[in-house]
A and B are shown apart, each in its own frame.
Chain A
Amino acid sequence: MSPERVVIVGAGQGGLQAAISLRQNGFDGAITLIGAEPGLPYQRPPLSKAYLQDGKAEALVLRPASFFESKQVEYLPGSSVLEIDRAAGEVRLDGAGADRRLGYDHLILATGTRNLRPPIDGLELACDLRTLDDAARLREALAGPRRIAVIGGGFIGLEFAAVARKLGHEVSVIEAAPRLMARAVSPAISRHFEDWHRARGVALHLGRAAIGVDATGVSLDDGARVDADFVLLAAGVRPNTELAEAAGLETGNGISVDAQLQSSDPAISALGDCACFPDPRSGAMVRLESVQAATDHARLIATRIAKGACPDYQALPWFWSDQGDQKLQIAGFAGPGATEEVVSEGLVARFDAAGLAAVETVNNARVHMKARKLLGPGGSADFAALKEAIAA
């Protein structure tokens, strides 16, 4: 029997997509979507890009209020879940829905991540960039000339750095790893972006950890100082697994789910940034931070709930990052230890023991899209085929 009441914890892009897809699949039971933030669900990726420049908050909204009425989705903004009572099949709410208990037949955890706050003295002086509120504060800060230090040379830190530099601010980026975006891209692509940011006047401090933040800047572990009157912390995230852990669900680097994206309790699924799932290609448990994973997960879970069954998860991961005029796109996912072959400047193929794992491109959407076909379900995932496609 299909469940009658679905409760979704987390109203980011993945949580909302689950509600949308449930209705698209003909699910006619009750849907409740619980979001910690006020306002309508919105897109996060533009917060470190377009929004910082245009300030158009309304353009970020994923669905209008009328969607929730017409699709009969109960949306509870400004609310959070305090506890999952698996025995009773209920969640206990806090915030706007305080003291309410909400029964579920199926529970979807889309709790996302929160910013990692490394043990750095004075870190409370640093701003975050995660929510629309954060981004609005950053926009205000960027209104006057600033000397900015960014702690963290990943996607978010670098996207922000590119915007801030373009607006004429002095920008330094501090990255503890020896290269930029080390967790996500090959050394060759790291170098490409290192050169690009340096050529635009961004000061990069690679292989240096921040150890203290104060009103005049950031202290590094080699004793150097980065002068700054504004500090952004963008040092990665950690998955919000506490609710799942407290409820006794299996967790690792995220809430552990199987190839059906079901947790260790069959009445609970998890999706997106908070979920640790078997990579369809390697079988290794992975946790991805991307719009693609959140929405593809959501679609699978919704299909399974509405139809009673669905094929195992097999979507190809893809990622993007806009840094100034440099459009980085990644098709596939290369785990740690992958090797690289530079095809040309800004076009890198990555390999692991099983062969071609990922293709990274800069300003080359054509090859990116071809790579997505080759690496995706039914593709040949073959380097020779990729080279042929590039030449075509």
Chain B
Amino acid sequence: MIKVTYVAHDGTETVIEAEEGTSVMQAAVSNDVEGIVGECGGSMMCATCHCYVDEAWEAKTGARSDDEDEMLEGAASEVTERSRLSCQIKLDPSLDGLVVHLPEEQL
């Protein structure tokens, strides 16, 4: 199992454990982490699973793809260098302990 910490906009931390291969979006939704919507189910169609990867983890999650970049154009909250669509970050052992921050709003 891989540990992920979601830091809500108000600072509340939720720590969950998810199986390898799960996306950061899926892991949040199936553990009832508020602040990730994932309306389209991970098809990269909605930009409602926006997250900011913690600075310490940036190198490990890698850069966002062009497609993600384009969808983030419509994100409800500010897009920064660390913005990702969490449906596109798949959990593997190298991401055990991952920390992501959640935006103020997704819709």
Contact = CB atoms under 8 A, between A and B. Distances in A.
Interface of A: 24, 43, 45-46, 49-50, 59-64, 66-67, 70-71, 291-292, 295, 299, 320, 322, 329, 364-366, 368-370, 372-373
A43 B74 contact: no
A222 to B, nearest CB: 37
Contact of A63 (B30, B39, B71, B73): B30
Interface residues of B, number: 19
Given A45-B40, A46-B43, A70 B73 contact: no
B30 A45 contact: no
Most buried by A among B29, B70, B74, B107: B74
B78 to A, nearest CB: 15
Q: Interface on chain B toward A: helix, strand, loop, or mixed SS?
A: loop
Contacts of A62: 29
Contacts of A366: 70, 73
Most buried by A among B31, B41, B47, B107: B41
Nearest to B67: A365
Given A59-B26, A63-B32, A366-B73, 5 more contacts: A64-B31, A71-B32, A329-B45, A369-B74, A370-B74
Contacts of A320: 40, 43, 45
B32 A369 contact: no
Contacts of B39: 291-292, 295
B45 A66 contact: no
B34 interface: yes
A372 B74 contact: yes
Interface in B3-20: none
B79 to A, nearest CB: 11
A365 B73 contact: yes
A245 B26 CA distance: 38
Interface of B: 26, 29-32, 34, 39-41, 43-45, 47, 67, 70-71, 73-74, 107
A56 B73 CA distance: 30
A365 B71 contact: yes
A59 B42 CA distance: 10
A291 B32 contact: no
A45 B43 contact: yes
A300 B26 CA distance: 24
Contacts of A43: 41
A365 B30 contact: no
Contacts of A50: 43
Contacts of A372: 74
19 contacts: A24-B34, A43-B41, A45-B40, A45-B43, A49-B43, A50-B43, A64-B30, A64-B32, A70-B32, A71-B32, A291-B39, A320-B43, A322-B43, A365-B44, A365-B73, A368-B70, A369-B47, A370-B73, A373-B74
